[in-house]
Amino acid sequence: MGLLDFFKDKVHGDPPKTLAGKFGHTLLDAIFTFLYSPNEVTKDGVHIRDGIDLKRTMFHVMIALQLCFLFGTYNVGHQHFVAMGEHMGFIEGFHLKLAHGLIKLLPIFIVTHVVGLAIEIYFAAKKGHSVEEGFLVSGPLITLIMPPDIPLWILAIAVAFAVIIGKEAFGGTGMNIWNVALLARVFIFFAYPTTISGDNVWVSGFDSIAAGAEANYGWWHTGFFNSLFGWMGLDQFTPGSAVVDGFTGATPLALAYQGGWEAVINVYSPAQMWWGAIPGSIGETCKPLIILGALFLLFTRIASWRIMFGALLGTVLMGMVLNLWGATPFMTVPWYYHLWMGSFFFAIAFMATDPVTAASTNTGKWIYGFLIGVIGLIVRILNPAYPEGWMLAILFLNTFAALIDHYVLEANISKRLKRA
């Protein structure tokens, strides 16, 4: 109770007058509301206590993302050692792969949250409001959709752009038009395209993935972890290790664009793509764990099943149409492999279902999801500059979500008037 009393005294006391004081007050309020559930009931004699508030809703999404974080961290290390021809089995060199993954992921996670939350707290203090809850989800999502070697200064700029221009400019959480995490990624894609596309960015720890390129090991590798692993009698990081001949860091989508399905399976098996032991963004590769997170969101009714199944339907139908067309090698990739070759599951489970930026009517959710599936696959296959599509499709449909809802409501009104 001492901690609770401390927060009550600091947060519910007289608000400070200076901006610095407001900033500290707002920070304490954010910590207080994150740690403790709200204690308000409806007034005027109607004793209904809400079972979940917005912070708890966001916390459910964070729980659903944890398996992606665990696998993504390890896979970053696994891809690093595969590039050097070392510890080729997935669980071989477990401690080394996990350590390398943590070295790469933690700075991304920390920079994203320090920059994003600092901006959120500043705007909340300026407005005299509590800190809004949206970044509890946006921060982890930004981390998971980035390549493991993203320059941290570029990441900081992208996060600042997404939070200020994409969110605070519209009034904060609940008012933004576009998904904040995807705005950070699309900013990097257009402003610094070489850091988020091509073959070199998906395997971390090298200046390039050309044969003979040596691993970039710093103090955390050769100092901290090597000392720890040496004391424990385990294998250590080896300075001077280099990329082996014949290794490619290309993703399945890049290979499919270049040579169709045969080019993909010459490098990756369907099982590898399904289980996620492939290069890619940190959290988007392991499909079973993403599906488990999606099922958790559906079970807790946090995410809309209509959007998910609408997007699945749109992708399947468009995939069949493009298979029948077959004008390019990419079009001949069997439609069902498009579901796990790239980031379809992650985008649909955690991005398209964002309740703020998605359609809100039941019929509108079906239309919204269906169009994301259709447009996303068209962008993936027919756009030569970007062999993926869900990021652009979701942002595009974010723009039209309110319009979709408007016409759904107008149609419903027309039907009632006819009945009347």
pLDDT tens digits for range 5-30: 655 555 555 555 554 455 555 666 66
In this structure, of 57-66, 87-96, 322-331, 360-369, the range with the lowest mean pLDDT score is 57-66
The tokens for 45 are 């004699």
Longest dimension (CA), the chain: 81
Predicted confidence at residue 2, as pLDDT, reads 65
Distance CA 133, CA 250 (A): 37
Higher-pLDDT residue of 138, 132: 138
pLDDT value at position 19? Answer: 46
Average pLDDT over residues 111-136: 82
Range list of H helices, 179-332: 180-191, 219, 226-232, 252-265, 270-275, 287-299, 305-325
Mean pLDDT value of segment 78-86: 94
Helix (H) / strand (E) element for 124: namely helix 94-127
**With contact defined as beta carbons under 8 Å apart, do 48 and 68 qualify?**
no
What's residue 169's pLDDT? 86
**Percentage of residues of the chain with pLDDT beyond 70:** 85
Q: What is the mean pLDDT of residues 391-395?
A: 93
> Confidence class of residue 336 from pLDDT cuts 50, 70 and 90?
very high
365 vs 59, higher pLDDT: 365
Q: What is the DSSP letter of 214?
A: B
Residue 248: pLDDT band with limits 50, 70, 90:
confident
Q: In whole angstroms, what is the distance from residue 139 CA to residue 175 CA? A: 18
Residue 38: pLDDT over 80: no
Q: In one letter, which amino acid is 57?
A: T
Give the mean pLDDT of 334-346: 91
Write the pLDDT tens digit of every residue in 172-219.
777 889 999 999 999 999 999 888 887 788 999 998 888 889 999 999
Helix, strand, coil percentages (3-state) for the chain, rounded to 5, are: 65, 0, 35
In Å, how far from its chain's centre is CA 193? 18
Residue 171 confidence class, pLDDT cut points 50, 70, 90: confident
Q: Which residues of 25-53 are buried (b: 16+ CB within 10 A; e: fewer)?
A: bbbebbebbeeeeeeeeeeeeeeeeeeee
Q: Which of 255-259, 279-283, 316-320, 363-367 has the lowest mean pLDDT?
A: 255-259
